[in-house]
Amino acid sequence: MPDNRISLGQGILKGLALTIKHFISRPIITVQYPEERLVTSRRIRGCDLVWDSERCTACCTCAKSCPQGNIHIETKVRPDNTREAVVFEIDHGRSMFCGLCVESCPFDAIHMGRSYERATYNRDSLVIPKEKLVAQGDRQPSGYFRPQFEETLPPQSLLIYGGKSSEVKTPENPPPQSPATAAPVSEKKEPAEREKVGVK
Amino acid sequence: MALKTEPIVVNMGPQHPSTHGVFRMRVTFDGEIIKDLEPVMGYLHRGVEKLAESRTYTQFIPLTDRLDYLASMTNNLAYVLAVEKLGNIEVPPRAQYLRVIMAEMMRISSHLMAVGFMINDMGAFYTPLLYMYREREKLLDLFEMVCGQRLTYNYMRIGGLSHDVPPEFLPALKKFVSEMPGFIDEYDQLLKENEILLARTKGVGILSKELAINSSASGPVLRGSGVKWDIRKADPYLVYDKLNFEIPTGTVGDIYDRYWVRMVEMRQSVRILEQAIEQLPAGEIRTALPHLVRPPCGEAYGHIEAPKGELGFYIISDTGVAPYRCHIRAPSLINLTALKDMVVGLMLADAIITLGSIDIVLGEVDR
Amino acid sequence: MDWLHWIIYVVIILAFVLTLVMSFILIERRVVGRFQLRLGPNRVGPQGILQPVADAVKILLKEDIIPSKVDRVVHLLAPIVTFAPAVLIFAVIPFQQAGNGLFFDLKSTASMVDLDVGVLFIFAISSISVVGLVMAGWASNNKYALLGAMRTIAQMVSYEIPMVLAVLGIVLIAGSLSLADIVDKQNIPFILLQPLGFFIYFLGATAEMNRSPFDLLEAESEIVAGVNIEYSGMKFAMFFLGEYAYALAVSTITSVLFLGGAKFPWGLLPQSFIWLLVKILLVFFVILWIRSTLPRVRVDQLMGFAWKFLLPLSLINLFLVAAEGMLPSGFTWPIVALNVTLAVALVVIWANRFYRVGGAKVA
Ligand code: SF4
Ligand code: SF4
């Protein structure tokens, strides 16, 4: 079904021009993980759930709202008639990190974590008991449904601003505050340094 | 002397680089000409519809992310629209606009993947795909900013949205909207007039208008065949009736038309985004609802124009906390039904790109 | 004396081919990466230069699988038959001409043998590799491999004809089949005298070495790497090396025939093998540039392109060269101008005609 358009190979030449333009002048957009890391969203639903033993009243709302049913809680009544979670474990291997438990907790006692590196060698180690569920090390709460944390976290790096943090080019944003509850997952390289790696 | 020849049967898939997942085609070849094609599906069946019956209405939202995982937002949207229709739930205007913004961002991102992978199936060594990934990545950054994840968003809620967007979202989106037409121009420069692409796609894999309608195809596949049918216009939901946009249609129904429709739709989506950002009102983003939604007894069908076609959720409620029955009209599956008619008589390479031009996602086909 | 010469050149050629093939693999991945806005391999060694070594070690340690239904002997022989001709080609390549050089002077041409029929030798040898690929496709007892082998035969046989006809133009101008003589005659690179010939030769060669947009033999998205599908470990490495060695061979032949080999253009600087190397890399870069831009053509379009587009053009080209040969000498620059104009005009006219009659379509 040839049409009447004159075709002289100019489409191919245009394409070649575009690719060589990219070759010469466009910046590399990939990130050299693990040396370079981008700052994740303030609301990231990382592959952790962080639990706050002080605030938890063992009301079990989170367990009820989990679509997978993978929050396991056993409670005990204290002498002052409050409840305490004797067992609180989450099977991270079955969790789909949907955040519904975080959303439903009435006491802000469970948070999504910020970390995204949780590879292990066996499945059992993904079932995390309550001693290990609390915030420690790089297991830090993110701002998902927790505005009080969200404000303290560093701004996300966006590719649309060249992979740098969003505060760089949008002056209308508030200046970033020092992260209080959460230490940044790791240091972020300066963009200039990234460029340097990019050019051969 | 006539040589005796015989057809060969090749199992393409479920492990084949170009079947977009675990789709399998039993193809009968005569040389390289396709004599027969039999699609075999079900390798990714997870029983999502049945799972819905054992989840509360809210708990099912994250599972809809796993249907068409390249367009999770629109899956969320179709589902919550169906539940809201069932329960007569009002949605605040700001949430409606934000839903439109998310759906159109999702459409751009999904079409970028569709076109990129189709060109990849055509044998371009990843370059167009990676240029498109660059823009998709920008969108994923924005999705991540809004809802914390890049693939499974779980962002829509019954009666609104889970969060409002953060303050840095709109400036970034505006920048994207202003840049995107330039990038689409670049894709056009790379692809639109490329003689090899024209030779490969024009007049290949034709789906006639009648067959498209009869096989109940939808989305870019239907519009590529020249049928002006888009649910955003035909049965406007959210605030689409307040926004200006056009529906591109092809003429022949070949692969090139489907590709072209997708490219134009991306431009139209950018247009919708511009208007939606401008009109975006302030206010609430979620109607107050009880923790467990219990819609009244009845049934409802909510459908939207997802990037791949008409995505519908048919839900029956018996006033319980979970749907009594949930059926999903998956556009990928239904668009796939005409595959055999499109490719018989063509060559092996054509079958691959025809499949690519339908743009299936196996998570949705097999459910 | 003779033996010494041969042994030295065997070592030189093997070193040349193996180091360049290794660096081609890295260069290809880095350059294509840059085209696609990514870095490519950069982990092993500084800037990733040890990546080919790491790949080689990995592939050597892989289990060598011989599927139970294959024809064992043919299956095992095929990679060797494919790889060997690509190296043999270098036996006639003149790395540097006799006479003064940039770094050192030579008494005779620096090539293993300066065959009088060098061009013929190259084409005869390079068409052997198709036998290896067909053997692999047939012996693998796999339908994808068979389809790949069928495509190979059709493709290689068709593209050889326009390629050879295009090179005949060079032979006519130079008046010799010996590569050293051809380089000697290139006071201006033959690409200027023979732009159309270069165009045809380059496209034909791209098809011959299965490079995009003519990489139908491998066509990962269609026939899952074609003939390579049942090969693993060292046998696969042989195919892989063979492919790159062939790319190297094509780049070298193009540099020698059309770009003036070891000579600096117009003799501005003394000749040296360095210039040959630079030219080889330049040609390879163009191949990569094309590869990272274009989609693949379909098998019938591939055939149509060879027979309806390249073949007529190469015949016209041959006729033009013969006609120009009758002119008295001394008209070099007018002829260059005329040839470039003619080449552009012919390609444009023929492309348009080819497109209009639907040359690229199924009949
Ligand atoms: S984490 Fe929250 S929802 Fe879960 S038991 Fe504790 S207080 Fe209740
Ligand atoms: S994130 Fe979702 S799946 Fe995981 S424990 Fe919470 S509710 Fe359950």
pLDDT in tens, chain B (367 residues): 677 778 888 888 787 777 777 888 888 888 778 888 888 888 888 888 888 888 888 888 888 888 888 888 899 999 999 988 888 888 888 888 999 999 999 999 999 988 988 888 887 778 888 888 888 988 998 898 888 888 888 888 888 888 888 888 888 888 889 888 888 888 888 887 777 888 788 888 888 888 888 888 888 888 888 888 888 888 888 888 888 888 888 888 888 888 889 999 999 999 899 999 888 888 888 888 877 888 888 888 988 988 888 898 999 988 888 888 889 988 888 888 888 888 888 888 888 888 888 888 888 888 8
CA–CA distance, B76 with B152 (Å, rounded to integer): 10
DSSP classification of residue B74: H
CA–CA distance, B250 with B259 (Å, rounded to integer): 9
The answer to whether residue C114 scores a pLDDT higher than 80 is: no
Whether the Cβ atoms of residue B166 and residue B143 lie closer than 8 Å to each other: no
Nearest to C302 by CA among C226, C206, C221: C206
* C329 or A99, higher pLDDT: A99
Q: Give B321 to chain A, closest Cα distance, Å.
A: 12
Q: Give B198 to chain A, closest Cα distance, Å.
A: 10
Name every residue whose Cβ is closer than 8 Å to that of residue A119 and which is 6 or more positions away in sequence.
Answer: none
Distance B240 CA to ligand 2 centre (A): 33
Say which of B17, B196, B203 has its CB closest to residue C295. B196
Report the predicted TM-score, pTM, of the whole model to 2 decimal places: 0.84
Pocket test for ligand 2, best of A88, A98, A133 (most atoms within 8 A of CB): A98
pLDDT band (50, 70, 90) for residue A184 = very low
pLDDT band (50, 70, 90) for residue A7 = low
**Residue B315 sits in which domain range?**
45-342
Instruction: Give residue A153's identity as a one-letter amino acid code.
Output: L
The shares of helix, strand and coil residues in chain B, as percent rounded to the nearest 5, are: 50, 15, 40
Say which of C147, C223, C294 has its CB closest to residue B196. C294
Which residue intervals of chain B are DSSP H helices?
Answer: 48-52, 61-64, 72-87, 93-121, 127-147, 169-187, 195-201, 209-214, 220-224, 231-234, 255-279, 331-336, 339-343, 348-358, 362-366
Within 13 Å and on the Cβ side, how many CA atoms surround C224?
Answer: 18
Name every residue whose Cβ is closer than 8 Å to that of residue C175 and which is 6 or more positions away in sequence.
Answer: C181, C185
The shares of helix, strand and coil residues in chain A, as percent rounded to the nearest 5, are: 25, 15, 60
Q: Does C219 touch chain B (CB under 8 A)?
A: yes
Contact A16 C293 (CB under 8 A): yes
CA–CA distance, B253 with A1 (Å, rounded to integer): 13
Residue C270 lies in a domain: yes
pLDDT on residue C1: 56
Q: What is the number of structural domains in chain B?
A: 1
pLDDT on residue C161: 87
Instruction: Give residue B115's identity as a one-letter amino acid code.
Output: V
Phi-psi map region of C292: left, alpha, beta (phi>0 left; psi -120 to 50 alpha): alpha
Chain mean pLDDT for chain C:
80
Q: Which of A107-116, A160-169, B37-46, C119-128 shows the lowest mean pLDDT across its residues?
A: A160-169
Residue B35 lies in a domain: no
Whether the Cβ atoms of residue C128 and residue C113 lie closer than 8 Å to each other: no
Tell me if residue A121 falls in helix, strand or coil: coil
Residues C201-238 pLDDT 10s: 888 888 877 777 777 767 666 777 777 888 888 888 88
Which of A150-159, B56-65, C42-51 has the highest mean predicted lDDT (pLDDT)? B56-65
Angle at CA C349, nearest 5°, toward C346 and C355? 130
A96 CB near ligand 2 (under 6 Å): yes
Torsion of CA B254, B255, B259, B264, to 10 degrees: 0
- Residue B10's alpha-carbon distances to B14, B351, C218, in angstroms, are 12, 13, 17
pLDDT on residue C359: 47
Q: Is the dihedral of CA C12, C17, C18, C22 positive or negative?
A: positive
End-to-end CA distance of chain C, in Å? Answer: 61
Question: Where along chain A do its domains lie?
Answer: 4-193
pLDDT band (50, 70, 90) for residue C304 = confident
CA–CA distance, B364 with B329 (Å, rounded to integer): 9
Angle at CA B256, nearest 5°, toward B253 and B260? 100
Residue B7 lies in a domain: no
Residue C329 lies in a domain: no
A67 alpha carbon, closest ligand: 2
Distance A39 CA to ligand 1 centre (A): 29
Pocket test for ligand 2, best of A71, A73, A91, A145 (most atoms within 8 A of CB): A71
Pocket test for ligand 2, best of A97, A104, A126 (most atoms within 8 A of CB): A97
Q: Which of A133-142, B78-87, C235-244, C264-273 shows the lowest mean pLDDT across its residues?
A: C264-273
Which residues in chain A are contacts of C30 at CB distance < 8 A?
Answer: 200
Q: Which residues of A153-163 are buried (b: 16+ CB within 10 A; e: fewer)?
A: bbbbbbbbbeb
End-to-end CA distance of chain A, in Å? Answer: 46
Binding-face residues of B in 167-226 toward A, CB within 8 A: 167-168, 171-172, 175-176, 179, 186, 189-198, 202-203
Q: Give phi and psi for B300, each to the nearest 5.
A: -150, 150
Q: Give A159 to chain B, closest Cα distance, Å.
A: 5
* B302 or A190, higher pLDDT: B302
CA–CA distance, B311 with B285 (Å, rounded to integer): 24
Q: Does C293 touch chain B (CB under 8 A)?
A: yes
Average pLDDT over residues A18-35: 80
Which helix (H) or strand (E) is B40 found in, with range?
A: strand B33-40
* C169 or B108, higher pLDDT: B108
pLDDT on residue A166: 43
Say which of A1, A15, A160 has its CB closest to residue B138. A160
| Bond prior to C52 in cis (omega within 30° of 0) | no
Whether the Cβ atoms of residue A53 and residue A130 lie closer than 8 Å to each other: yes
Tell me if residue B295 falls in helix, strand or coil: coil
Residue C321 lies in a domain: no
The answer to whether residue A84 scores a pLDDT higher than 80 is: yes
pLDDT band (50, 70, 90) for residue C363 = very low
Average pLDDT over residues C94-119: 73
Q: What is the number of other CB atoms lying within 10 angstroms of the CB of residue C91? A: 18
Q: Give me the residues paired with residue B314 across strands.
A: B301, B327
Contact C360 B122 (CB under 8 A): no
Q: What is the number of other CB atoms lying within 10 angstroms of the CB of residue C175? A: 10
CA–CA distance, B108 with B266 (Å, rounded to integer): 5
Average pLDDT over residues C259-282: 79
| Nearest C-alpha in B relative to A3 | B202
Nearest to C65 by CA among C241, C307, C235: C235
pLDDT band (50, 70, 90) for residue A163 = low
pLDDT on residue B242: 87
Distance A48 CA to ligand 2 centre (A): 10
Which residues in chain A are contacts of B191 at CB distance < 8 A?
Answer: 15
Nearest to C276 by CA among C79, C95, C102, C110: C95
Q: What is the number of structural domains in chain C?
A: 1
E strands present in chain A: 49-51, 71-77, 83-91, 110-112, 127-128
End-to-end CA distance of chain B, in Å? Answer: 52
Contact C221 B123 (CB under 8 A): yes
Q: Per CATH, which fold does A4-193 belong to?
A: Alpha-Beta Plaits (3.30.70)
Q: Looking at ligand 2, which residue's alpha carbon is closest to its atom 2?
A: A98
CA–CA distance, B117 with A162 (Å, rounded to integer): 25
Distance A64 CA to ligand 1 centre (A): 10
Instruction: Give residue B169's identity as a one-letter amino acid code.
Output: F
Interface confidence: ipTM more than 0.90 = no
Residue B88 lies in a domain: yes
pLDDT on residue A172: 43
pLDDT on residue C269: 73
CATH number at residue B82: 1.10.645.10
pLDDT on residue C322: 81
Residue B322 lies in a domain: yes
CA–CA distance, C111 with C107 (Å, rounded to integer): 12
pLDDT on residue A196: 38
pLDDT band (50, 70, 90) for residue C354 = low
Contact A29 C39 (CB under 8 A): no
CA–CA distance, B35 with B13 (Å, rounded to integer): 18
3-state secondary structure B328-343: EECHHHHHHCCHHHHH
A107 CB near ligand 2 (under 6 Å): no
Number of the ligand 1 atom closest to the C-alpha atom of A88: 5
Say which of A6, A15, A30 has its CB closest to residue C39. A30
